[in-house]
Amino acid sequence: MKGTTLQFGEAVLVNRNYKYDSSKGEIHISKKNFKKVPKDFKNDTPGKERMITYDSKWGTVSVPVKFTEEVEKEIESIQEVA
């Protein structure tokens, strides 16, 4: 299929669309990407947002979310390079 362009939807990928800080026990993610996380893996109660992630020391954990646009800017710069 020479000359054909394929488009893929954006997916939530481990360590790509968010950063997990195990020392502080929190996830840094943009609000846009948090909305894409399946409801089974997050608590979206306003002011008490939490998300489930894997911690190599404790296994699967539910940790608080800190919203940031910095993560989203990093993703955009990675996409520009690709």
Question: Does residue 51 form part of some domain?
Answer: yes
Model pLDDT, residue 71: 52
Quick check: is 12 in a domain?
Answer: no
Q: Quick check: is 10 in a domain?
A: no
* pLDDT beyond 70 at 61: yes
Average pLDDT over residues 16-35: 86
Specify the pLDDT at position 13: 54
* Residue 47, domain member (yes or no): yes
Is 68 within a domain?
yes
Q: What's the mean per-residue pLDDT of the chain?
A: 79
Task: Give CA–CA dist 63/49, Å, rounded.
Answer: 9
- Regarding pTM above 0.75, the answer is no
Q: What is the span of the domain harbouring residue 55?
A: 19-81
pLDDT above 70 covers a percentage of the chain that reads 66
- Is residue 40 within 8 Å of 32, Cβ to Cβ? no
- The answer to whether residue 1 is domain-embedded is no
Q: What is the mean pLDDT of the segment spanning 35-51? A: 90
Instruction: Give the total number of structural domains in the chain.
Output: 1
Whether 7 is in a domain gets the answer no
| Dist CA 36 CA 39 (whole Å) | 9
In-domain check, residue 6 = no
